[in-house]
Amino acid sequence: MKKAALAFAVLVVFASPSLAQSVGEKMGVNSALGIAPKTEDFIKEAAMSDMTEIEAAKIAQQKGNADEKKFAEMMVMDHTKTSSELKSMVPDNLKAAIPASLDDASQKKITKLRDAKPEDFASEYDPMQVSAHKDAVSLFERYANGGDNAKLKDWAGKTLPALKHHLEKAQALDKNRK
């Protein structure tokens, strides 16, 4: 009986609907191996990244120093634009892959920023931005190089320079903080 329950649990995990994130992408295995994400995973991750960046930037506009506020202004503008572009390109059969709200991990990051004392804000926000943009560059590079939706693949490639610029700016923020 236990074997049957275990087999069923494994089947449920691996046969989950296409809306669920693939195990390889969720665990970071695809990124470590340089494997392109499934289109559904790319859509979900790109949309979640945009939502998280916008929410984090709104907090930075209130709590950040002058450099962080300037960076946050760019984040709101650029990530609002990419979010809109992404939504317009997602095929109808994959619209459900676009998350309606932040997932638990992203919400925890936002809560941590909201709860940060003003004197601790930079030490939370700056490295968070470096990490988030490293992840975004990896995601977009992998999809641009091996994605299976030509329109999204092209868009990922065209979006990469802005994400790399964001990463450079985030690294400068983090470096100047120390």
pLDDT digits (tens, 9 = 90+) for 37-72: 999 999 999 999 999 999 999 999 999 999 999 999
3-state helix, strand, coil in the chain (%, to 5): 80, 0, 20
Per-residue model confidence (pLDDT) at position 167: 97
58 to 64, 73, 80: CA distances (angstroms)? 10, 8, 12
> Which residues touch 38 (CB under 8 Å, ≥6 apart)?
18, 22, 25, 148
Per-residue model confidence (pLDDT) at position 175: 93
Q: What is the pTM of this model?
A: 0.81
As a whole number, the mean pLDDT across the chain is 86
Taking phi over 0 as left and psi of -120 to 50 as alpha, with beta for the rest, 37 belongs to beta
